[in-house]
Structure formats: structure tokens, C-alpha cells
Chain A
Amino acid sequence: MTKYITSERLPELWARLADRGPLYLPVNEGTAVAFRAWEEGKEVNLEAVNSTVSPKEIFLPAWETYLKFERAGKKLALAPADANGLARPVTAFGLRPCDLRAIELLDLVFVEQDPPDELYTRRRKNTTIVALACSQPDPFCFCTAFGIEPTDAPGADVLAWKTGNRLFMEARTPRGEDWLEENSRLLQEAEGVEKPPPVESADFGLALEGLPENLKGRFEDPIWDQIYRSCLGCGICTYICPTCYCFDIQDYGHQEQGERFRCWDSCQFSHYTLTAGGNNPRPTRKERVRNRFLHKLQFYPERYEEFGCVGCGRCLRSCPVGIDMVSVIRALGGETVAR
């Protein structure tokens, strides 16, 4: 089933979708772009490739409450979190193919485990994903190096793409069909067979075959001494990354009353691996930087037979000192094309 809507009518669609439940989509915030719950006045940006911060926060918010506790005398009352609006169906609109692939990689960690992570899984099951095909890769994009097709998103409920003034939407799952049906009042039937227009590939000439095997035994490779040097030790790369998922669990409040919450954490922070007694198995930026890249390029493939990077290019754009996935893969020897 393929339908379309013209650009002028999109605000009507946003209003209708937001009425049904939270609608997350890319909006402008100054010169940055982030996925936010739509409300009147938000400036939607369907052109940005890619959003400054990845849409993983729809499923893994920067922080969320696990449970609330309150002490009355000797009794401690526990109440589970209401999990922020999980009662209503959510629409996630405008995820790019790389971002959706990243969500599938997060599923391996949070859903396909025993037991699965409850909050993540509930959000995931409750959300209809409308992916948006890319019409022009950004200079920092290299998704095709990871076998991602910029105009296709196999895991989406609906695939959308722009052709001129029209935003086409094709249902890919039964849930996607229902979703299109629910909104059919605003949509028009596509005449003939429509397909997303092809786009150039983006891969920076990276050759990734055999890289995970090659990295085995290179834990002490002196190249890491060069790679990490200029790292500032901030958490930009991990927080904007669509596949980084580490979190911390802490309490907020005091002994009588409070909340237990989880929040993003970063393997680039000194306290990430600090243990009681003061030992830190990753004492310097070297071990932390090495961990981040080996996690994406070796540990993820070993555990899940998939790379832990989707080539979204955010670290290429935002690392203030140019330590990014492409530069590091090149330094490790994973490229075919000399530039």
C-alpha cells in the first residue's frame, strides 16, 4: 500500500498523529536538530541528514525513572514508574535508514535477551516507525560501508520518501498498513508504482571485511597510543551515537522518599569503570578510546555478528578533535582507497 501527502498538508498530519499519541520527529533547535515530541510551534525538519543527536532517545531516554520509593515508619513502599506515556501508541517519524538499523542493533541488547529490558521493550512494541529514505547523503555519511541502503529501511513499519512536493509512504508491516489506514483521510492513493529515487553511495572507501578478526590480538597495538592522544575525554561521541547504549542506575532524593532512575553513561568518562576501593581497569583515555572503537568493530561482531556502527557520520561531524570512526578505521588499516 503506497499513499502520499503534499508538503503543505504535513502540519495537519502532525496534529492528527500527535492527537493519537506522542509523535517524535526531527525538529530544529537553534542550529541543532533533535527528535522531539511534536507540539504546535515546533519547526519540523525532514531535510536534515543526520539529526545532531540520534533518535535512540525515543526508546532509551537520556534518563528515566525505574521506580519510586517512600518510607512510612518501618515500611518501604515501592511504586513502578509509569514509563512516560507508554499507555498511548507512539509514532516515530523520519528516522533515517541508518538510525533504524541502529535501533535494530539496540534490540539485540535490550529485547533479544532473557530477560528483556522491560522499559525499552515496551516502548519499542508500542511505537510505529515511519522511516524516511535519504535523498542526499551528507558529506559525513558512510552507511553503505556497513551494507545499509540509504533509500530502504527493511525494519520500518512504513517507508517514506520525498519526490518533489510529495511525501510518499509505503506500508511495510501490518502495523504500518493500519497506521496508513488510520490516517487515510489526509492521504492520497499513489498512482502507479512509486519508488524512492536512487542516491549516491557513501562509504569513504572503507573495507571492513575481516576487520573484526584482524583486531583480535591488537589490543596492545601501539597504534592506540596515537589514536587516543588528542581525545578530550568528553562524552560527545557516545551521546550522539545511535548505537551506544550504556547507562547507569542511581537514586535521587533522600532516605525517606525518592526515585531510582537510569541515565545515559559513557565509557569515555573516568568514573565509568571506577570500582569501590578506587581501582579503575580503564585508568586513562587510551583504554577508554580503545574500548569504544573495539566495542563497535570487534566485540559487537563477535557477540552478534554485526558491526556496532551504522555509518551515520555523527562522530565525524561532532568530535571536536577529529577522532572519528572513519579516521580510526583508516588508522587501523581498514581502507581500500588511498585518499
Chain B
Amino acid sequence: MAERRINNMEKIRTAVAQDLLSGRIDLLLGWEKGLYWWQSRPLFARNSEDLQRLTWDSFCVANLSGYLQEELKENKKIGILLKGCDSRALNRLVQDQMVDRERVVAYGLPCPGLLDPRLLKQEAGLELTALGIEEGEDRVTLTGTKGKSIAREELLLEKCRRCHHPDPVGCDQLLLPPVGSREDRSRFHQVTRLEEIPAEERFAYWSSQFERCLRCYACREACPCCSCRECFVEQEEPRWLGKAHENSENFIYHLTRAFHSAGRCVECGECQRVCPVELPLMELSSKIIKDINELYGEYQAGLDTEQDPPLLTYQPDDPAAFVE
């Protein structure tokens, strides 16, 4: 298995090196290792030396598509490594005409789902520094323990456990064999649970969550849908949002952001993953997605760029029960 991973890495590096070193692309967006084995971070590679640091492992969590808008100002053509969710983000940006697809070379990485370091620590009962992992086909062995082995599915990040489409779509090439769709995974169980709570309790739940918001705007900055050149948060005339970290303002911020990404959220889960106080932000987006599915038929943003986005089309017989 370790051998296969090394082979995969070589395959990826060879493919992107060809394009970067021949000048077909000016920049490659990928990942490199961070401080520890359970951290990988974005890599901006421009030469063969940079490419030596390129990594593809179970911790390459950052969605790199959000960097394209900015980087295309300085680079003619950019290569980008994309997991399934990341590829939907690119497709969505292209559909929104925020990114010129002609100037992007998209390399797809079929994704086995990424591991949650917190779950690894919890399962091992050890500090991560005292731990290592060996990844098998469907299981992960925790080295440093007495060889404890756990189903990979149970160690995945929250965002990966609800992912139906781990294979990238609309890429120029897939660098690894597809992993197949995962429609057996439950996308909406958390939302369904919240829907069942009486409205007052639900309000109390969200109040207690939003109260903890630091207003650091990491959810917005990490979101590939949040591609506005100027966000309503910064607009001063009129001022939509006060700067006080007051709960009513926090509500306005999160609800506005959720509704603004309605029909465009690709469910990459980055908003929730980056939140330093771990607000369950994906539940807001999931609720809207679920409603869209129920009202206008199944739709997953970024999956099929030919399909009309339901909120950007109008039909006279569209259901409108919510305004009647």
C-alpha cells in the first residue's frame, strides 16, 4: 500500500512536471507537508525544486480553487490539483464567469476521503506525535498503538463522510483511477435531525452557536462560492452589517452568506473545516440544498455544468408555497 502511494505520487509529479517545466502552465497549485504528518498545506509550485515538495496524501484538505481568481491576475495559465469537491468548485466558478476555464489546466485526483486527525487521536488515545498511520484499501492501522485497525470510513473528516462524488468532474485529465460514486453516504442526516426540533429550540440552538462566532470571516475566505469582489460585510454605504460581535449581527452575517451561496454551494465543507470555533456551518448550506432538491428537483452545484442552476432559471409553474 505504501508502495502504491509512492507510485501515485510519482505519477502525479511526472504529469504536472511535464506541463510546468515545458511552460504549458506558469504555476501549479497543489499541496505540501506542513509542520506535522497530519497536516498538509497549499503549495504554489513554479519550478522543479518546488515540485519536490508536492504531496498528495490523506490530509490535503484545502480546496485550492479559491486561489484561481487572484492568481490568474498574475499568471497566464495555472495548473491545479482537484479532488472531487474541489473540481465542482472550479466548475461553479467557471459557470459564474469568475474564472476563465481556458486558462486553467485541471488535474483530477479521485479522492478516497480525507482523514480527520482529531478522530485518529481519539481512536488511538494517544497524542498524534506518538502516532503514525498505515493506510490499507479500506482500513487504517494506527501505528504506535498495539496495531489498532479501523475502517477508513469511520476516520473521515465530517465533510468527506457526506460526499457523494469523490471523483473529480470536468477535469482535463484524471491522474489516478476513479474511486466511484458514493451515493450510499448520508448527506442530510444532520439537517433532518435539526428540522425535527421545534422552531424555538432550533432558534436557541443556532443562537448558542452563532454567539461563539469570532467574525474572523474564515468561512467566507475559504469558500469557493464567496467570490464577490466586495462582500456585503465590507460595504459601508449602505452598511449592511454592524461590526459589533453581537449575536443579532452574527445571525445576519451567517444567514446572508448561506442564502447568498444558495444553489451555488458545492458542499466542499471548507467553511466548517476552517472555523476555529467549529460552528456547524454546513448545516445551513445543507438545509438550503435540501430545500432546493425538494422544490425544484435534485441538483448538485458544479456537477453538471450543462444543467441549468435552479435558482437562476424561472418557470411559470415553479412551486411557491413559501410565499403564499
Contacts and interface: CB of A to CB of B under 8 A. Distances in A.
B189 to A, nearest CB: 18
Given A62-B214, A263-B244, A322 B278 contact: no
A63 B217 CA distance: 16
B34 A29 contact: no
Interface in A241-298: 248, 250, 252, 261, 263-266, 269-271
A327 interface: yes
A2 to B, nearest CB: 30
A29 B215 CA distance: 17
Interface stretch (A81-89, A94-102, A232-240): A232-240
Nearest to B280: A30
Nearest to A322: B41
Nearest to A230: B42
A61 B44 CA distance: 37
A232 B221 contact: yes
A78 interface: no
Contacts of A230: 41-42, 44, 62, 67
A266 B214 CA distance: 11
Interface string B127-157: 1110000000000000000000000000000
B35 A316 contact: yes
Contacts of B67: 230
A248 B118 contact: no
Contacts of B165: none
Contact of A52 (B34, B66, B222, B277): B277
B178 interface: no
A235 B253 CA distance: 15
A252 B216 contact: no
Interface residues of A, number: 42
B298 interface: no
Interface in B216-253: 216-218, 220-222, 234, 242-246
Contacts of B24: none
A326 B34 CA distance: 11
A229 B74 CA distance: 12
B127 A139 contact: yes
A322 B212 contact: no
Contacts of B66: 232
Contact of B234 (A53, A266, A271): A271
Interface in B250-298: 270, 273-274, 276-278
Contact of A320 (B44, B212, B274, B277): B274
A6 interface: no
A321 B243 CA distance: 26
Contacts of B305: none
Nearest to B44: A229
Contacts of A264: 214-215, 245
A300 to B, nearest CB: 22
A230 B129 CA distance: 25
B27 to A, nearest CB: 10
A234 B222 contact: yes
Interface in A43-58: 52-53
B36 interface: yes
A30 B246 CA distance: 20
Given A31-B118, A62-B245, A326 B35 contact: yes
Contact of A31 (B246, B274, B278): B278
Contacts of A135: none
A320 B220 CA distance: 12
Contact of A53 (B128, B244, B246, B276): B276
Contacts of A53: 214, 276-277
A250 B216 contact: no
A32 B242 CA distance: 26
A63 B31 CA distance: 37
A34 interface: yes
A52 B276 contact: yes
B245 A63 contact: yes
Contacts of B214: 53, 62, 235-236, 239-240, 264
Contacts of A232: 66, 218, 221-222, 274
Nearest to B208: A29
B243 A32 contact: no
Interface in A4-59: 29-32, 34, 52-53
A288 B40 CA distance: 23
Nearest to A314: B276
Given A230-B44, A232-B222, A320 B278 contact: no
Contact of B277 (A32, A271, A322): A32
A318 interface: yes
A318 B273 CA distance: 10
Contact of A327 (B34, B40, B234): B34
B207 interface: no
A326 to B, nearest CB: 6
A79 B36 CA distance: 52
A62 B277 CA distance: 14
Contacts of A306: none
B128 A321 contact: no
B42 A234 contact: no
Given A239-B214, A324-B35, 20 more contacts: A53-B214, A63-B245, A235-B214, A235-B217, A236-B216, A238-B216, A239-B216, A250-B242, A250-B243, A266-B216, A270-B234, A316-B35, A320-B62, A320-B273, A321-B41, A321-B42, A322-B34, A322-B41, A327-B34, A327-B35
Q: Which 3 A-B pairs have the closest CB atoms?
A: A322-B41, A234-B218, A320-B274
7 contacts: A31-B118, A229-B44, A230-B41, A232-B218, A248-B243, A320-B218, A322-B42
